[in-house]
Structure 1
């Protein structure tokens, strides 16, 4: 699965006028200007019935979206604000993503405050039915609207909530990278239908975590594999763990060494 994921991430199609299989339409929504002067927009993907696309940390076989904002004007820092994903069973694999439709809010800080932001983006992403295919679209946002968009606001409301607690972690080298074992707080463990583990700011492949119970606490273990295929320095403060349930999700930033 590690090889399959790597191949899918590199085998991207050329830009095309016709939507790829499974995609009905794609757009950057008009959005609005926030009170802070930021441009709020959203990537909207409408999929054929039954088709799915992936979350930012999809698991073993998924392809996380990648964004290229070259060609935009007055574009500063970009924040992609991910709604809670679904747990998807497909072809014997368990991944995290969205079916039928994705509205993915995006907040852009202008480099020149008070001046218009003109977002343009090329998005590489995966689409799945019985098999998974890579897709690519080029999008330009229209001018912003005068008021917040209820569809984007609803997607913002589905973001995982942040926890002020930290899991306990054990980090150790393995043959081709690092392995993290996280013991999650009991207060949130009952929520878990699935767990995602990520490393902020790094292009690292992460396996779908294996989970078990330790009393009232969930224990999640995942492998982190860099392009070098060797162990590497892994900062526990850069870890991000997300507990995902059918109606809720909670996110943890960083972890502390096991006591």
Structure 2
């Protein structure tokens, strides 16, 4: 079962300063289809639904931290009945390089499981808007209205379960060792050097450093591996571009390679 989804018009934006005269422009419906899977009821007043994104060949969309060449994917609830909160469970992404820019995301089809917290035993209602970017040689920002019911059925959806199992490994599951973060001041914020004992994740390894506050900007990390250890250096800059206190517990560190991804929840001094 799927919820109703309506795609608004999108504006095609060039990734380069100019497109050739032969450039082709696309409508949103030609490159992406979005639906919301109604999912199934869990214990403890929770419900697992999902957003399904199907992309035309060659097009891609983005992870929660899209990189400098990507567009954030954001779900905002505008009206709810029986729902008190939500969390997206992101499957392991890929790293792309286009026109010299790095981005992190998905191609083909991707299912984003969405876990809702409920205050009802019956059907709940949700209404919201998904904002995402889809890119090929051009990028299209797209806004999709989503609405529907979360039925109390406990029959599990195999596609959602598969997406949940495709999440990054935890540090414990991957056999990762110590993770340290060295912090030094820079003119507009702080520089963080991450050193982690972590198994190889495949080719073209990338470390993504995130801050839990979306208003704090984190640069792409310069990544280097030596044997069983990986090092990444990133700048963390607050909105006022001045000195600030950084809690290492607010950092989320993910190592992404061609074979798997590993999420390192925290680091020490």
TM-score (norm 2): 0.81
SS of corresponding position for 1:58? coil
Query: Gaps spanning 5+ residues in structure 1: where?
Result: 1-14
Question: Residue 208 in 1 paired to residue 215 in 2?
Answer: no
Give the aligned partner of residue 200 of structure 2: 190
Question: Residue 87 in 1 paired to residue 79 in 2?
Answer: no
Structure 2 counterparts to residues 66-105 of structure 1, below 5 A: 66-105=74-113
Question: Residue 35 in 1 paired to residue 27 in 2?
Answer: no
Give the aligned partner of residue 139 of structure 1: 146
Equivalent pairs counted in the alignment come to 240
Larger radius of gyration: 2
Displacement of 1:254 in angstroms is: 1.5
Displacement of 1:22 in angstroms is: 5.7
Structure 2 counterparts to residues 105-124 of structure 1, below 5 A: 105-110=113-118, 112-124=119-131
Give the aligned partner of residue 16 of structure 1: 8
Displacement of 1:234 in angstroms is: 1.6
Asked whether the 8 Å contact 1:39–1:117 carries over to 2, the reply is no
Most deviating of 224-233 and 35-44: 224-233
Give the aligned partner of residue 265 of structure 2: 253
Displacement of 1:64 in angstroms is: 1.6
Displacement of 1:35 in angstroms is: 2.9
Query: Gaps spanning 5+ residues in structure 2: where?
Result: 1-6, 11-26
Most deviating of 52-61 and 134-143: 134-143
TM-score (norm 1): 0.84
Distance 1:101 1:204, change over 3 A: farther
Structure 2 counterparts to residues 175-186 of structure 1, below 5 A: 175-185=187-197
SS of corresponding position for 2:28? coil
Displacement of 1:204 in angstroms is: 2.4
SS of corresponding position for 1:118? strand
Q: Distance in 2 between matches of 1:248 and 1:32?
A: 27
Displacement of 1:17 in angstroms is: 6.2
Most deviating of 244-253 and 188-197: 188-197
Asked whether the 8 Å contact 1:44–1:102 carries over to 2, the reply is yes
Question: 1:121-154 CA distances to partner (integer Å, 9 max, x unpaired)?
Answer: 2111221111323221111134435511111111
Question: 1:209-256 CA distances to partner (integer Å, 9 max, x unpaired)?
Answer: 111234531101112223223332221011111111223221111111
Asked whether the 8 Å contact 1:161–1:251 carries over to 2, the reply is yes
Asked whether the 8 Å contact 1:22–1:127 carries over to 2, the reply is no
Displacement of 1:189 in angstroms is: 3.8
Q: Distance in 2 between matches of 1:85 and 1:58?
A: 10
